[in-house]
Amino acid sequence: MALIVQKFGGTSVGTVERIEQVAEKVKKFRDGGDDIIVVVSAMSGETNRLIDLAKQISEQPVARELDVMVSTGEQVTIALLAMALIKRGVPAVSYTGNQVRILTDNAHTKARILQIDAQRIQRDIKAGRVVVVAGFQGVDEKGNITTLGRGGSDTTGVALAAALKADECQIYTDVDGVYTTDPRVVAKAQRLDKITFEEMLEMASLGSKVLQIRAVEFAGKYSVPLRVLHSFQEGPGTLITLDEEESMEQPIISGIAFNRDEAKLTIRGVPDTPGVAFKILGPISAANVEVDMIVQNVAHDNTTDFTFTVHRNDYNNALQVLQGIAAEMGAREVIGDTDIAKVSIVGVGMRSHAGVASRMFEALAKENINIQMISTSEIKVSVVIEEKYLELAVRALHTAFELDAPAGNTAE
Ligand code: ASP
Ligand code: MG
């Protein structure tokens, strides 16, 4: 007998039929003897619909009122699911974030969970009820309704699992697990049985958006075993864990992540003197632009070139700031490039294996792909390349690191 938190996303509760299917699934687990807490999102599209309504009143709706409104999406699905369970003879009760008392700070539309009162839920569980909790929402100290940011129901699920010391937090979604890379790019991508929190964070922050990043951070911090599963297909899904078992068969690289959202800026011919990096990146950060990769070249003629990447949405803003800096510093020129992509290999196996980066560079060299920038961390090597080679690079690396599924065993 286990205590399991099951979170169902918007597409899994997108219609009444699907909510009935979710109820069937929950009933099956409960009939098997498990205690279940269910967290649900709003029906797919509902949160966007509500935000659109608010925007018809005001381009910048008051955040407190926006939270009062968007939190209703989840209130509808918890009630429907509880009804569907009760109809099937399963005792169930639904609660909003406020009713549980999921206490958050008062940062409306991006609140953080501070504390969860587990008592009420524990009483219901003891009494044999399935507890259905609204995702994405909480309440601040003063009783104002708050929300946790888009995709926040994942975080609700993990936080409840942590507070109740659940055996597992299962995230049901429209994919059957976490893949070695995007199956739309590499048909031979494989579902991973297991991945560590650290790896998942790198994969998620690089654009594999199966899970909200904050939820993965939270799960790692509180050691909540997380499992990503398909809502309506059978299968083991992908387990996200702390443990990094060392085995001979364990691949060195767990996945290839990529990201087309960055742009590159170079300021050429800046003086090679102390404080230059600060003079360049200080104003960039003051303009609220986050910098990702940075490269400073070796100086010649007492000047150097300085290159960095930013999110593509920030490109124009950063370019303007940089042109101002260049004029001030007497730099030679500013060059920008939005046709770039970042490709990363991710794996905790890198820690104990030498030569992983060179194997990556070899695979790219064989395809004649030029590397523009490189950055490394303990479990990741990233390169910036020309965007048009992105898919070729991902496929080449997937093969080079032996991640391709055996023939006939692909995602499709
Ligand atoms: N309904 C919210 C959203 O669409 C929260 C969630 O789905 O996790 O962002
Ligand atoms: Mg989601």
Q: What is the pLDDT of residue 249?
A: 57
Residues 6 or more apart whose Cβ sits within 8 Å of residue 171? 7, 9, 154, 157, 210, 211, 215, 226, 227, 228, 229
Helix (H, G, I), strand (E, B) or coil at 174: coil
Q: What is the pLDDT of residue 412?
A: 47
Q: Is the CB of 42 within 6 Å of ligand 1?
A: yes
Distance of CA 412 to the CA centre of its chain: 24
* pTM to 2 decimal places: 0.86
Q: Which of 100, 172, 87, 98 is nearest to 131 (CA)?
A: 100
* Ligand 1 atom with the shortest distance to the CA of 136: 5
135-152 in b/e form (b: 16+ CB < 10 A) is bbbbbbeeebbbbbeebb
Q: What is the pLDDT of residue 205?
A: 67
Q: Which of 261, 269, 262, 263 is nearest to 334 (CA)?
A: 269
Spacing, Cα 71 to ligand 1 middle (Å):
9
Which single residue is written with the structure tokens 């926006």? 66
3-174 sits in which CATH class?
alpha beta
Pocket test for ligand 1, best of 43, 136, 210 (most atoms within 8 A of CB): 136
Beta bridge partners of 103: 115, 139
Domain locations along the chain: 3-174
What is the mean pLDDT of each successive set of 10 residues along the chain, which is 412 residues long?
95 97 96 97 97 95 97 98 98 98 97 95 97 98 97 96 96 91 92 92 73 89 93 92 67 90 94 91 94 89 92 95 94 95 94 90 98 93 96 97 81 49
Q: What is the pLDDT of residue 100?
A: 97
**Cα separation, 312 vs 264, whole angstroms:** 9
Q: What is the pLDDT of residue 408?
A: 60
Q: What is the pLDDT of residue 246?
A: 57
Spacing, Cα 233 to ligand 1 middle (Å):
22
Pocket test for ligand 1, best of 41, 109, 218 (most atoms within 8 A of CB): 41
